[in-house]
Chains A and B, each alone.
Chain A
Amino acid sequence: DTEVTQTPKHLVMGMTNKKSLKCEQHMGHRAMYWYKQKAKKPPELMFVYSYEKLSINESVPSRFSPECPNSSLLNLHLHALQPEDSALYLCASSPLDRETIGYTFGSGTRLTVV
């Protein structure tokens, strides 16, 4: 299995809703990442997990809450989002020894906040 699977593919939520994005990989990668991508921009890093522990938080607002329950699964919990949070959310994974195959990305969740 050489894939990163993200669900759902599309999500529309109101500003008072609580929702979660899910990311799963079975490649034995011990680093997982959340990226946010706005239209016509490159992906921007949000969070990094190494060995299921949060290692990097790029000053992301607390309305985004990541969780890594195990080495294969990464969640992003969403609460009280704003319309400007509408974007493509990408998950990625990599071996911690990144000097081999690099990063593998999922197909993303396209989020619309109304």
Chain B
Amino acid sequence: GIQVEQSPPDLILQEGANSTLRCNFSDSVNNLQWFHQNPWGQLINLFYIPSGTKQNGRLSATTVATERYSLLYISSSQTTDSGVYFCAVNGDDKIIFGKGTRLHILP
């Protein structure tokens, strides 16, 4: 089956810093999403991005499908950005999650 790897596993940053999270996947996919899971467990859909680049405020994402990776950029981090960021791809009628990047933004 498709393998999804995320890096780094943990990231601690000062408020205001920028960060880049990476997602590698082992096979071609037609669906890739980035989620943010807040400390209360809510999985928030950030981007649906099987290819190309999208931006939403301080967040942007780029997927290069031919090279099987996606990047999530967070600029000017805020403490509310803390939580776990998951990349998920679609395979065999179900989504497969990476293990996530745990982000801590220090005030």
Contacts and interface: CB of A to CB of B under 8 A. Distances in A.
Nearest to B32: A102
A101 B48 CA distance: 6
Nearest to B99: A42
Contacts of B42: 105, 107-108
9 closest cross-chain pairs (CB), A and B: A42-B97, A105-B43, A102-B48, A107-B42, A102-B33, A108-B41, A45-B94, A88-B41, A98-B31
Interface string B1-43: 0000000000000000000000000000011010100001111
Given A48-B93, A90-B43, A98-B90, A42 B100 contact: yes
B98 A42 contact: yes
B40 to A, nearest CB: 7
Given A37-B41, A102-B33, A103-B33, 17 more contacts: A33-B94, A42-B86, A42-B97, A42-B98, A42-B100, A56-B94, A88-B41, A90-B41, A99-B30, A99-B31, A102-B31, A102-B45, A103-B95, A105-B45, A107-B41, A108-B41, A110-B41
Contacts of A55: 93
Chain B interface size, under 10 / 10 to 19 / 20 to 34 / 35 or more? 20 to 34
Interface of B: 30-31, 33, 35, 40-45, 48, 50, 86, 88, 90, 93-95, 97-100
A13 to B, nearest CB: 18
A110 B86 CA distance: 19
A111 B94 CA distance: 23
A104 interface: yes
Contacts of A98: 31, 90
Contacts of A107: 40-42
Contacts of B94: 33, 45, 48, 56
